[in-house]
Amino acid sequence: MAWLLILILIPYFYLLLKIYAGLLKIRPYKSPETTELFVSVIVACRNEEKSLPLLITDILSQEYNSDHFELIVVDDNSIDSSYETAMEYNNSKNLIVLKNKGCGKKKAIRTGVEACRGSLIVTTDADCRMDKEWLKTIVSYYIDNKPELVIGSVTLESRKGFFNKLQELEFLSLQGITAGTIAAGNPVMCNGANLAFRKEGYNRHAGNLHYELISGDDVFLLHSIKKESGKIVWLESEKATVITRSALTLKSFLLQRARWISKARSYRDMFTVVLAIVTYITILLQLILLVAGIFDRLFLLIYLAVFLLKSIPDFMILYNTASRYKKKHLMKWFFPAQIFYPFYVVGVVLRSLFYRAG
> What structural domains and CATH numbers belong to the chain?
2-21+269-353 (no CATH), 27-266 (3.90.550.10)
Could you read off the pLDDT of 257-311 as tens digits, one per residue?
A: 877 787 888 899 999 999 999 999 999 999 999 999 989 988 899 999 999 999 9
pLDDT tens sequence across 179-209: 999 999 999 999 999 999 999 999 999 999 9
CB 262 within 8 A of CB 352: yes
| 71 has a pLDDT exceeding 70 | yes
What DSSP string describes 208-231? Answer: GS-TTSSS-TTHHHHHHHHHTT--
Neighbours of 40 (CB within 10 A): 21
What totals of helices (H) and strands (E) does the chain contain, helices first? 13, 10
Strand 120-125 to 39-45 pairing: parallel
Torsion angle (degrees, nearest 10) of CA 27, 28, 33, 36 = 70
pLDDT at position 264 is 81
CA atoms within 13 A on the CB side of 172: 29
